[in-house]
């Protein structure tokens, strides 16, 4: 995360890059690094990886949704705090002005489309996400016995790239 922060700072401050930057944060990164990075990027993401905790435990038992929820909550609170500060102070820097997002891999674990959509809806609501991105699982031959060795990935709604609930 420190290296990512150095890169975005260099882009903004030294290279004077004013284009869009979407930064994927590193799980378990410190709040200080996330906060500083949020001052230099347009959008932040931390990947949920799998739609359910059970699915995540099947393929990555060392990870948990709690590890993703903590930084999502932190970024959400920082966005709100910076917006509140702008009402009181003339010059407050923007913090993650394009909001935050997450991503799920679909098809590696047996979740139904309903479970996937329920997870996405819950994360949109709880963390004020701007997008939930979906990636179809594509197995790597002979990589690990934990992941299914599918001939063709199971594709559902993931073809669109993202779906945002209406309302």
Domain ranges within the chain, ordered by starting residue: 2-160
DSSP single-letter state for residue 4: H
Residues in the chain: 167
Residues 6+ apart with CB under 8 A from 39: 93, 94, 95
pLDDT in tens, 49-68: 999 999 999 988 999 999 99
Q: What is the pLDDT of residue 160?
A: 46
For 44, list phi and psi in degrees, rounded to 5: -120, 145
Helices 31-38 and 65-88, axial angle in degrees (round to 10)? 50
Nearest-CA neighbor of 21 among 34, 46, 39, 33? 39
Rg (CA), the chain: 17
- Residue 159 has what pLDDT? 43
**Mean pLDDT on 95-118:** 94
- The average pLDDT across 136-148 equals 69
3-state secondary structure at position 105: strand
Q: How confident is the model at residue 84 (pLDDT cuts 50, 70, 90)?
A: confident
Enumerate the H helices of the chain as residue ranges: 2-9, 31-38, 53-59, 65-88, 113-127
Whole-number Å distance between alpha carbons of 100 and 42? 9
Task: Give residue-wise pLDDT tens across range 16-50.
Answer: 999 999 999 988 899 999 999 999 999 999 999 99
């Amino acid at each position: 995360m420190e290296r990512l922060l150095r890169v975005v700072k260099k882009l903004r401050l030294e290279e004077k890059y004013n284009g869009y930057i979407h930064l994927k944060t590193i799980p378990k990164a410190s709040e200080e690094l996330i906060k500083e990075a949020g001052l230099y990027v347009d959008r932040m993401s931390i990947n949920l990886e799998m739609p359910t905790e059970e699915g995540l435990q099947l393929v990555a038992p060392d990870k948990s949704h709690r590890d993703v929820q903590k930084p999502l909550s932190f970024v959400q609170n920082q966005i709100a705090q910076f917006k509140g500060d702008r009402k009181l102070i003339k010059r407050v820097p923007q913090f993650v002005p394009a909001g935050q997002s997450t991503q799920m891999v679909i098809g590696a674990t047996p979740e139904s489309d309903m479970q996937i959509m329920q997870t996405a809806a819950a994360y949109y609501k709880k963390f004020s996400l701007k997008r939930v991105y979906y990636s179809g699982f594509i197995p790597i031959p002979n990589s690990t016995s934990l992941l299914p060795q599918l001939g063709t990935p199971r594709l559902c709604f993931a073809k669109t790239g993202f779906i945002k609930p209406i309302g």
